[in-house]
Amino acid sequence: MTFIVRDLDRMEEILTKVMDARKVYDSGSESFSTSRERFFVVGDIWIATMEGESLPTRTYNHIAFKISEAGYSTCLELVRSLGLEVREARSRVDGEGRSIYFHDEDNHLFELHTGTLEERLRRYAAGKPQAFT
């Protein structure tokens, strides 16, 4: 997964503080690719950040990361402490989990979600939504 960002330091702050990413590479002034880059690991996911122009607009295209229900408030506090714009979560049916959506300064949308695919499929298989939260 690669994100093109104007400010590598700012994206590093977001990844390390909010996603608990571990930086494993920094090109510094060297470049083996099209621009300066840094590599991070979040769980088993390799994330690359490369210096470049921001996305021109914001969309609902996003990447979601699993968080625990117990960690929800802490994650929300971390996102807000970094001055990131929190987007209102979409309506959800009971049993689907909760989400924190936020944009970075380059118009990437991230989701921190407490549920799992298995939980969502089980809830959807149970039938028509009864109530939105």
Strands 85-87 and 45-51: unpaired
Over the stretch 34-68, which tens digit does the pLDDT of each residue have? 899 999 999 999 999 999 999 999 999 999 999 99
In CATH terms, is domain 1-52 a member of 3.10.180.10? yes
**At the top level of CATH, which class does the domain 54-133 belong to?**
alpha beta
Question: What local confidence, expressed as pLDDT, does residue 123 receive?
Answer: 79
Domain boundaries, the chain: 1-52, 54-133
Taking Cα atoms as reference points, which of 44, 37, 84 lies closest to residue 65?
44
Q: pLDDT class for 23, splitting at 50, 70, 90?
A: very high
Q: Residue length, the chain? A: 133
Residues 83, 10: Cα–Cα separation, whole Å: 11
Question: What local confidence, expressed as pLDDT, does residue 44 receive?
Answer: 93
Per annotation, catalytic residue among 37, 51, 96, 111: 37
Given a cut of 80, whether residue 129 has pLDDT beyond it is no
105 is annotated as an active-site residue: no
Question: What local confidence, expressed as pLDDT, does residue 102 receive?
Answer: 97
Residues 60, 43: Cα–Cα separation, whole Å: 24
Question: What local confidence, expressed as pLDDT, does residue 69 receive?
Answer: 93
Domains 1-52 and 54-133 share a fold: yes
pTM of the model: 0.83
Burial of 18 (0-12, 13-18, 19+ CB in 10 A): buried
